[in-house]
Amino acid sequence: MCGIVGRVEKSGRPADPGLLARMTRRLAHRGPDAEGFHLDGPVGLGHRRLSVIDLAGGGQPMANETGRLQLVVNGEIYNFQALRRELAGRGHRFRSQTDSEVILHLYEEAGPDCLRRLRGMFAFALWDQDRRRLFLARDRIGKKPLVYAETPESFSFASELQALLEAPDLKKEIDPAALDDFLTLQYIPSPRSIFAGIRKLPPAHYLLYEEGRTRVEPYWSPDFNRKLKVDADEAGQLLLNKLAEAVQIRLVSDVPLGAFLSGGLDSSAVVGLMSLASPRPVRTFSIGFSEESYSELKYAALAARAFRTEHREFMVRPDIVEILPEVVRHYSEPFGDSSAIPTFYLARETRKHVTVALSGDGGDENFAGYPRYRQALELERLLPLLRWAAPLAARRGDALRRGWQRKLDWALGEAPRLTPAGRYGRWITVFPADQRERLYRGRLREQLARNALDRLEAVWARTGDRLDRMLDADFQLYLPDCLQVKMDIASMAHGLEVRSPLLDQEVVELAASLPAGLKLRRGAGKYLFRREMRELLPPEILKRRKMGFGIPLSPWFRRELKDYLAGHILDRRALGRGYFEPEAVRRLFEEHVSGRVDHTSRLYLLLVLELWHRLYLD
């Protein structure tokens, strides 16, 4: 796992090695083991390496046999051994044992179509000297990030936005549409970034910069329309075999390897499959909090005993005042998923013992594990009744109503008027449209004419099944632009590589091809997945309810962190930025502190935004 940067000077003047070095060193946390550069006239590439495979021979930038191709990679190619044998059989000569080198030789044969052969997590840049072409690409699920910017003077790219900001010709001008996305969703979906002049390369896309022109193209998308005609037994065996293989190929490492273990179904399944494939005890790591309702340590310990792992637990009461600015700084743009904080802690502690960790990410998106899928389907079934009952709904002030009452108001009032995609969009929205209308002012208020969730309408048209539409939407938005960003930045802040077998592209493709009834059945998600884990997992883990990976911010914002929160979002500097109506912000704060309305997620977004502003713009 690594960090990559690059720059092309449009004037033809030589690339600045000093600038390249500054950009690269901003990513030292991603690659603490080595640094490398390649300069070719106006083109420069930089690389920071986290050594995982072929510790001595895998330095980058990496060249092909003639030196006409230069490559920098962030990630792992899990099928590299099979590809290497195939390519060597056709006469390609390899100089290292690393997985990255297969990309060079595949590109020699197929150009950008080489992406179709790669199974892994990656973001890479390849400079083709003969064609004077820069080729950038991201993996299918978006596990590894890549941002880029084009100005009249240059084309630049980097693994993280903070490295790109070293370029002197980039302006730190906030994109109001991106800020609206953040406040709507808690993250900024690609291709936008918080800065108007910087873009994110979307997952499963590649970019060609050639002859001064930029072209971005997709190369893959999960297909929910092609369904397997199999019964539960046949589907279960296919799934179990594919999961076992996905875990097996992720155990290749020349450095210590372990796994995150929360005690939930997904991480326990990964650890269980690792224990079957590994000749040595698996090293597992868990984090817990003093508030028992937020701690899963007892379930993690149960799974650790069942699989006889070498288990370590970390009890943490996060000092938000100390850790949150560091977390915000690493994400480079506003990022509002508060579970980034415990993920950051877990990665930090795990890195003290291993360099690579497997995670259970992806189970909910593949197999319909989130309660909102069931709840949204129930709402659709009740919609005719809701339309009939809507005129009877009592409309009272939002501030005086309890959570269930406000949900009922929405179901009876707004929901029947929305499209199906709009109703699902409401499930995943932090600041709904009516609250943003009361909150916004100035340039931000102008964004109310657009909809941050318009992309859902296009997703809804791709397939006919209601559950598949929601799963597809999460693969297009929430999974790559929130969950994958959270894990990548939190782990790479500490030089820890995280691998996710449940998000293997072949697992994803198989899961998409399963009928909806094998995912969500009798109101419970992960039906087939849970069924196939019966022989492997303890019954207590199979039967437990889903628990989010979070911290008790809601009570902290009312007590311990009340003054800290007020000192940021109600500060004269924050209220004077021109984004929000001061009275609307005060109302959110006062309603939460009084216990009338739980605004935890919304207040956290405002806090993160203010901290980010102070770190990157003030």
Residue 290 lies in a domain: yes
Mean pLDDT over 63-71 rounds to: 95
Q: Where does residue 275 fall: left (phi above 0), alpha (psi -120 to 50 degrees), or beta otherwise?
A: alpha
Residue 7 lies in a domain: yes
The pLDDT tens digits for 387-440 are 666 555 544 444 444 555 566 666 666 777 888 899 899 889 999 999 999 999
Q: How confident is the model at residue 550 (pLDDT cuts 50, 70, 90)?
A: confident
Based on the structure, what is the number of domains in the chain? 3
**pLDDT for 243 beyond 90:** yes
The pLDDT tens digits for 151-200 are 999 999 999 999 999 999 999 999 999 999 999 999 999 999 999 999 99
Q: How confident is the model at residue 386 (pLDDT cuts 50, 70, 90)?
A: low
Lowest-pLDDT range of 47-51, 137-141, 385-389: 385-389
Residue 173 lies in a domain: yes
Q: Which residues contact 342 (CB under 8 A, 6 or more apart)?
A: 287, 289, 316, 318, 549, 550, 551
93 compared with 396, residue with greater pLDDT: 93
pLDDT for residue 390: 57
Peptide bond between residue 61 and the one before it cis (omega within 30 degrees of 0): yes
Q: What is the CATH number of the domain that holds 59?
A: 3.60.20.10
pLDDT for residue 343: 95
Same domain (yes/no): 306, 214? no
Q: Which residues on adjacent β-strands are paired with residue 120?
A: 77
Among residues 1, 2, 149, 492, which one is catalytic?
Answer: 2
Same domain (yes/no): 350, 284? yes
Task: Tell how far CA 279 is from the center of its chain.
Answer: 31
The answer to whether 203 and 142 are in contact (CB under 8 A) is yes
* Surface-to-core class of residue 228, CB atoms within 10 Å of its CB (0-12 exposed, 13-18 middle, 19+ buried): middle
Mean pLDDT over 375-384 rounds to: 86
Residue 519 lies in a domain: yes
Q: Which residues contact 234 (CB under 8 A, 6 or more apart)?
A: none
Copy the structure tokens of residue 276: 């079957």
Of 480, 515, 543, the position where a domain reaches its end is 543
Same domain (yes/no): 539, 560? no
C-beta atoms surrounding 148 within 10 Å: 23
Same domain (yes/no): 238, 179? no
Same domain (yes/no): 80, 195? yes
pLDDT for residue 401: 46
- DSSP assignment, residue 165? T
Of 164, 192, 218, the position where a domain reaches its end is 218
C-beta atoms surrounding 280 within 10 Å: 8
**pLDDT for 113 beyond 90:** yes
Q: CA 329 → CA 1, 83, 484, 490, distances in Å?
A: 20, 38, 17, 11
3-state secondary structure of 270: helix
Same domain (yes/no): 536, 558? no
Q: What is the CATH number of the domain that holds 290?
A: 3.40.50.620
Q: Which residues contact 604 (CB under 8 A, 6 or more apart)?
A: 336, 338, 553
Residue 481 lies in a domain: no
2 flagged as catalytic? yes
Residue 223 lies in a domain: no
Same domain (yes/no): 618, 564? yes
pLDDT for residue 56: 83
Same domain (yes/no): 276, 243? yes
Strands 213-218 and 43-49: unpaired
The pLDDT tens digits for 118-135 are 999 999 999 999 999 999
Copy the structure tokens of residue 42: 């106006």
Copy the structure tokens of residue 274: 């690792």
pLDDT for residue 545: 81
Same domain (yes/no): 182, 77? yes
Same domain (yes/no): 130, 22? yes
The whole-angstrom separation of Cα 81 and Cα 516 is 35
Same domain (yes/no): 90, 108? yes
Mean pLDDT over 143-152 rounds to: 97
Same domain (yes/no): 81, 182? yes
The whole-angstrom separation of Cα 524 and Cα 505 is 25
Strands 147-150 and 198-200: antiparallel
Residue 186 lies in a domain: yes
Domain region containing 523:
232-367+488-543
Of 187, 218, 249, the position where a domain reaches its end is 218
Residue 341 lies in a domain: yes
* Surface-to-core class of residue 547, CB atoms within 10 Å of its CB (0-12 exposed, 13-18 middle, 19+ buried): middle
The whole-angstrom separation of Cα 386 and Cα 407 is 13
The answer to whether 461 and 211 are in contact (CB under 8 A) is no
Instruction: Single out the residue of 48, 52, 51, 42 nearest to residue 61, CA to CA.
Output: 48
Look up residue 401 and give its amino acid.
Answer: R
The pLDDT tens digits for 522-546 are 878 999 999 999 999 999 999 888 7
